[in-house]
């Protein structure tokens, strides 16, 4: 299942870019930004409250699309991405609606809501007690980000993501990640 999530995230992003290119769209007209970062895996004392899985680095990759619903204090954009665990623990792919507000000073803030599919444990008989029991294969994904635009194209940010089933299932241990990201805006 772990390989499935990694392949699905990569193929999904490549397919979206290829479809846009086939229809005459360039990356600049299809995408608002590409982001890559390193996140701490299953961080304790955040939203989920405790750690079960091993300390590790997760690689986060994300595409934010140019299509946007403009609001007075920012815009909401569709986002697709994934966080890949480097030690073989829980990885996920996600799709979100993400609001981002940009300040004249260069600071920006982001908040989103979406769905994630993961390759970790669901819980119950036969589940690994050394993994988070997330309750269902599809989870809510809630990202938060605060950053700074370095120039017209580059930004750096602190990124947090939480995924859980919001107590819709018997098991709901949740997973939190936090780290740093670099973004390139088109």
Q: Token pair of 49, please?
A: 């409250």
- Are the beta carbons of 143 and 111 closer than 8 angstroms? yes
Q: Which of 144, 157, 164, 162 is nearest to 183 (CA)?
A: 157
Output the pLDDT for position 141: 98
User: Taking the model in full, what pTM does it have?
Assistant: 0.86
Output the pLDDT for position 29: 79
- d(Cα 72, Cα 99) in Å, to the nearest integer? 11
- Top CATH class, 2-185: mainly beta
Output the pLDDT for position 111: 98
CB-based contacts of 29: which residues, under 8 Å, 6+ apart?
20, 66
pLDDT digits (tens, 9 = 90+) for 13-48: 555 554 555 555 565 679 999 999 999 999 999 999
Output the pLDDT for position 9: 52
Output the pLDDT for position 72: 85
Output the pLDDT for position 11: 46
Burial of 10 (0-12, 13-18, 19+ CB in 10 A): middle
Burial of 186 (0-12, 13-18, 19+ CB in 10 A): middle
Domain positions in the chain are 2-185
What distances in angstroms separate CA 2 from CA 6, 129, 157, 160, 184, one per listed residue? 7, 17, 27, 22, 28
Which DSSP symbol is given to 68? -
For the chain, which ranges sit under pLDDT 50? 7, 11, 18
């Amino acid at each position: 299942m772990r390989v499935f999530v990694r392949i699905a995230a990569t193929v999904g992003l490549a397919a979206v870019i290829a479809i846009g290119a086939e229809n005459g769209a360039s990356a600049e007209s299809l995408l608002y930004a590409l982001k890559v970062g390193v996140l701490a895996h299953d961080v304790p004392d955040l939203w989920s409250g405790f750690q079960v899985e091993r300390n590790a680095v997760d690689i986060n990759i994300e595409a934010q699309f140019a299509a946007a619903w403009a609001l007075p204090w920012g815009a909401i954009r569709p986002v697709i991405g994934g966080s890949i665990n480097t030690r073989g623990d829980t990885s996920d792919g996600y799709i979100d609606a993400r609001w981002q507000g940009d300040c004249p000073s260069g600071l920006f803030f982001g908040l989103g809501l979406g769905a994630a599919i993961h390759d970790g444990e669901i819980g119950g008989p036969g589940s690994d007690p050394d993994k988070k029991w997330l309750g269902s294969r599809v989870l809510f994904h809630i990202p938060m980000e605060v950053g700074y635009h370095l120039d017209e194209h580059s930004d750096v940010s602190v990124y947090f993501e939480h995924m859980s089933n919001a107590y819709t299932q018997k098991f709901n241990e949740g997973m939190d990640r936090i780290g740093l990201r670099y973004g390139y805006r088109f």
